[in-house]
């Protein structure tokens, strides 16, 4: 058999900067934010103790990268001034409760103690406090994806108050919470909000010009010289700015365009590669949101909406979505939520960019109603649900037939418009 691999790579010189764990040398296009961030952290260097800061903004807008860079600078300055500063970083995506976070922090502070699963929380807290007091100085706990802690506020209440509650004598603690969930802040209890959100920094989405600067920087690190045709970066930036303004998505698009060109043994990456990459990235993003971000109940709400969209004779309004949702729950044997909870889920699906709404007049009867449609092709959404056997069990037997009919009629609808 002939080798299935392609010839020598003519496109990339390095792919590390595209990896999740890569931290760029420079943070571009965020000078104002960096200034604001530095002002919030100045207390540490001036000896007034670490602040609590809440960082928020959509996904991929540089919250984590900027925070990592700020901590590098802060550590260097604190070191130069002989100040004791300890920074502990925890991603709450993997540790979603106070218990899991404190176990992790205790293990980081005191690795030889090895906290075992089931250790009483009081024991864990006392390991943390005695270790922090032994080290002394300022301690900053960074909680990335802090919203994953949900309603478990114990850590957020207790940790920033540890000094005033007499748990610490030689040290003081501040929390930097990072979140892309806008609802999280609103849902915090007053007592936690007032401390955690003492200082807030909002990261806005990038515009096309900012994305171009970021993409040019990464392109220099990752592509061989002169392989990108001149419209590739502006196109990647324009597509992403119109959509989310998310730098991760723009980088993903650029890398995928390069992958496609490499797969074709092409010597250049061009506009067509970016177009192909765009539909690949869209498909992958939709899949990621559905599988990683939605609860089962949200998935069922989206599934009901998708089947209604396929059933072209029925309006996709909440009442109909809810009724189909209840049938699906029954079919796959899960709890059924109230209509108002499903309304909330529909708002969340809109926030994730999976569905969109339009207002419809109800004609002579008067009044208006909202009609929902899918942002992506139904096939992409259903293909994702098919990967989950429990959800697939809810599919009607006629799914494939409905899907083909829908796709046929969308195609013929397009042709008849062209005939005009």
Ligand X SMILES: Nc1ncnc2c1ncn2[C@@H]1O[C@H](COP(=O)(O)OP(=O)(O)OP(=O)(O)O)[C@@H](O)[C@H]1O
CB 237 within 8 A of CB 254: no
Q: Which residue has the tokens 């001034």?
A: 81
238 annotated ligand binder = no
The reply on whether position 30 binds ligand X by CB under 6 A is yes
Q: Which C-beta is closer to ligand X: that of 24 or that of 136? A: 24
Distance between CA atoms of residues 165 and 163, nearest Å: 5
Distance between CA atoms of residues 251 and 206, nearest Å: 13
Among 62, 174, 177, 205, binds ligand X (CB under 6 A): 62
The reply on whether position 262 binds ligand X by CB under 6 A is no
The reply on whether position 27 binds ligand X by CB under 6 A is yes
Which tokens sit at 328?
């699906």
Among 64, 86, 162, 212, binds ligand X (CB under 6 A): 64
CB 251 within 8 A of CB 59: no
The reply on whether position 215 binds ligand X by CB under 6 A is no
According to DSSP, residue 395 is labeled S
Query: Which range touches ligand X (CB under 6 A), out of 76-84, 96-104, 244-252, 330-338?
Result: 244-252
CB 62 within 8 A of CB 27: yes
The reply on whether position 353 binds ligand X by CB under 6 A is no
The reply on whether position 247 binds ligand X by CB under 6 A is yes
Among 95, 104, 199, 248, binds ligand X (CB under 6 A): 248
Size of the residue set binding ligand X (CB under 6 A): 19
The reply on whether position 274 binds ligand X by CB under 6 A is no
Q: Which C-beta is closer to ligand X: that of 23 or that of 295? A: 23
Angle (nearest 5°) at CA 394 between 388 and 396: 125
Q: Which C-beta is closer to ligand X: that of 162 or that of 348? A: 348
Residue at shortest CB range from ligand X:
62
CB 128 within 8 A of CB 105: yes
The reply on whether position 237 binds ligand X by CB under 6 A is no
Q: Which long-range contacts (CB under 8 A, 24 or more apart) does 161-164 make?
A: 161/195, 162/129, 162/132
CB 87 within 8 A of CB 75: yes
Binding site for ligand X (CB under 6 A): 22, 24, 27-30, 57, 59-65, 180, 214, 247-248, 251
Residues forming the annotated binding site for ATP? 61-65, 206
């Amino acid at each position: 058999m002939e080798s299935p691999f392609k010839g020598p790579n003519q496109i990339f010189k390095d792919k590390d900067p595209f990896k999740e764990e890569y931290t760029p040398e420079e943070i571009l296009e965020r000078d104002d934010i960096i200034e604001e961030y530095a002002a919030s952290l100045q207390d540490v260097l001036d000896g007034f103790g670490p602040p609590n800061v809440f960082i928020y903004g959509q996904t991929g807008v540089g919250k984590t990268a900027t925070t990592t860079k700020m901590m590098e600078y802060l550590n260097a300055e604190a070191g130069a001034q002989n100040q004791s500063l300890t920074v502990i970083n925890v991603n709450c995506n993997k540790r979603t409760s106070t218990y899991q976070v404190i176990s992790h922090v205790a293990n980081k502070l005191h690795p030889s103690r090895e906290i075992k699963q089931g250790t009483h929380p009081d024991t864990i807290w006392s390991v943390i406090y005695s270790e922090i007091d032994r080290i002394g100085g300022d301690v900053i706990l960074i909680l990335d994806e802090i919203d994953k802690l949900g309603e478990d506020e114990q850590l957020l209440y207790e940790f920033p108050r540890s000094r005033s509650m007499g748990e610490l004598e030689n040290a003081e603690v501040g929390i930097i919470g990072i979140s892309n969930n806008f609802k999280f802040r609103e849902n915090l209890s007053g007592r936690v909000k007032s401390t955690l959100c003492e200082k807030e920094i909002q990261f806005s989405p990038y515009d096309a010009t900012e994305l171009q600067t970021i993409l040019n920087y990464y392109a220099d690190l990752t592509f061989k010289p002169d392989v990108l045709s001149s419209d590739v970066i502006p196109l990647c930036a324009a597509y992403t700015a119109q959509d989310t303004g998310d730098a991760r998505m723009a980088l993903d698009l650029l890398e995928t365009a390069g992958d496609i060109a490499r797969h074709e043994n092409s010597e250049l990456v061009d506009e067509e590669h970016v177009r192909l990459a765009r539909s690949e990235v869209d498909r992958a993003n939709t899949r990621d949101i559905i599988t990683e971000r939605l609860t089962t109940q949200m998935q069922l709400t989206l599934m009901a909406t998708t089947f209604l969209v396929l059933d072209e004779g029925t309006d996709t309004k909440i009442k109909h979505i809810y009724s189909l949702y209840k049938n699906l729950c029954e079919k796959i044997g899960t709890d059924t939520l109230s209509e108002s909870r499903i309304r909330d889920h529909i708002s969340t699906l809109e926030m994730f960019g999976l569905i969109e709404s339009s207002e419809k007049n109800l004609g002579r009867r008067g009044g208006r109603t909202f009609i929902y449609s899918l942002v992506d092709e139904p096939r992409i959404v259903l293909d994702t649900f098919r990967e989950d056997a429990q959800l697939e069990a809810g599919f009607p037997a006629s799914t494939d037939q409905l899907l083909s009919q829908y796709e046929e009629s969308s195609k013929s609808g397009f042709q008849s418009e062209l005939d005009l």
